[in-house]
Amino acid sequence: MHLDFQSGAPTIDFVIAGVMKGGTTALWHILRERPDIQVAGRKELNHWLGLGARIPFGLSRLAYKARFPRRIAGKLRGEASPDYLYHPTAIDALKRCNGSLRVIIMLRDPVSRAYAHWNHYNEKGRDARRFAEAVRDEMSGACDTAYLARSRYAGQCSHLLSHFAAEQVLFLKSEEARQQPQDAWLQTARFLGVAPEPAPQRYRFHQRSYPEPIDSQLRAQLVAHFEPDIAAVEALTGWDVSDWRDMASPEIPLGR
């Protein structure tokens, strides 16, 4: 579907643009309850995918506009579609939509993110393979499920920062958001320029158990696979992500 970026498309002030399985749903729910913020009626509109992307998503301009409440002066407007970061054309389109856009990105331990992505598809019946098989197939080029590709963040974030100034982008570490959700919200409030009121307690960043643990040898292989990217993310964000190198994930128990 061709997307219409001409006059009449609603201006959005911010977007949660990544990453899939990074904890964006909890943050979106918090934003929905803010009196000074207007968000789209549902998450993952995926409107700005397209224009060269191979994904057949994308709402028409009028349908996209209808997803938002009528604009009220003084209120910020935004949406959450964590697929955007992964697709360069979406970032390009967002830049054309609003050069002053504020972009929120949540980054998670890449091995855990890839595993959660696979588990989501497996539970939905979209991928019947075991995780190890899915990873092997992706590494060999036998499939394009992108469990690993989506977890290589450095290139995605560099592309984002080539379009938006650093002060327009907020990077949140998913593990810290789960451990200290109020701190993550206060960072977001300061970034958006809204009152730093406490977030509702009922919305927490998910931490779930999985039916099958990651084999310890496989996790070690994947940590090694992601090491160059992890180092690049540290340089890009200034974070300490040594926990991403741990052989044992705090949220996904290891197998033998």
- What is the pLDDT, as a whole number, of residue 144? 83
Whether residue 148 has pLDDT greater than 90: yes
Segments making up each domain of the chain, as ranges: 14-249
- What is the pLDDT, as a whole number, of residue 44? 94
- What is the pLDDT, as a whole number, of residue 52? 38
Find residue 214's DSSP bridge partners.
254
- In 3D space, the residue among 127, 107, 103 whose CA is nearest the CA of residue 117 turns out to be 127
Q: Report yes or no: 17 and 105 within 8 Å, Cβ to Cβ.
A: yes
- The secondary element (H helix, E strand) that includes residue 255 is strand 254-255
Whether residue 25 has pLDDT greater than 70: yes
- What is the pLDDT, as a whole number, of residue 251? 62
14-249 domain in CATH 3.10.180.10?
A: no
- What is the pLDDT, as a whole number, of residue 122? 92
The tokens of 186 are what? 């206060």
Least confident of 30-34, 57-61, 251-255: 251-255
- How far apart CA 244 and CA 250 sit, in angstroms, is 10
Looking at per-residue pLDDT, the higher value among 193 and 143 belongs to 193
State the distance between the two ends of the chain, measured CA to CA, in whole angstroms.
Answer: 47
From the centroid of its chain, how far is CA 124? 20
- How far apart CA 49 and CA 52 sit, in angstroms, is 9
- The secondary element (H helix, E strand) that includes residue 116 is helix 110-123
User: Strand pairing of 14-18 and 102-107?
Assistant: parallel
- In 3D space, the residue among 58, 107, 60, 59 whose CA is nearest the CA of residue 85 turns out to be 107
Q: 191-207: per-residue pLDDT in tens?
A: 999 998 887 766 666 66
Half-sphere exposure for 229 (CA within 13 Å, toward CB): 22
Least confident of 56-70, 76-90, 123-137: 56-70
Whether residue 5 has pLDDT greater than 60: no
Q: 157-189: per-residue pLDDT in tens?
A: 999 999 999 999 999 999 999 999 899 999 999
Global pTM reads 0.90
Sign of the C-alpha dihedral computed for residues 40, 154, 225 and 135 taken in this order: positive
